Amino acid sequence: MTEINLRLKKKLNEVFSIEPNDLGTGFLNQNFKKITAYFKTIPFVYVIPFTFLISLVLYLLLGKLLVRLVTILQYGF
């Protein structure tokens, strides 16, 4: 029983180690919570489709410039 209590205490200390974010208004706080919830668990589920969409849009906007950018990036390591 004592061990369970200790583990629970440790977990609670870990969870409450930081104060919740306060952005000033209730509207901002609510939306901030909603958006950040997507990044807390398996963010790649949203990140990968989003980045593909962005790179496709960039390709349509920049065209050959994007290909040149990739060439520069490939020398960037």
Partner 1 sequence: MDFKTFLVDFFTAFIIVIKRFFLLIIYPYKTMRRISLEKDYYQLLIIAGLVFLYFKFIYFLRDKTYLATLVFLFFIFNFLLTSSFFYLLNKFFNSNQNKKETSFSSFIFTFSYSLFPTLIWFLSTSLLFIFLPPPRTFSLLGNTFSIFFVAYSLSLLIWKLILEYLAVRFSSKQNFLRIFYMMILYLTWFLPYSVFLYYFHFFRIPFI
Q: Which residues bind partner 1 (CB under 8 A)?
A: 14-15, 17-19, 21-23, 32, 39-44, 47-48, 50-52, 54-56, 58-59, 64, 66-71, 73-77
Give the residue with the Cβ less far from partner 1, 9 or 50: 50
Which residues in 4-41 are b (16+ Cβ under 10 Å) and which e?
eeeeeeeeeeeeeeeeeeeeeeeeeeeeeeeeeeeeee
Give the residue with the Cβ less far from partner 1, 1 or 20: 20
Give the residue with the Cβ less far from partner 1, 1 or 60: 60
CA atoms of 36 and 30, how far apart (whole Å): 10
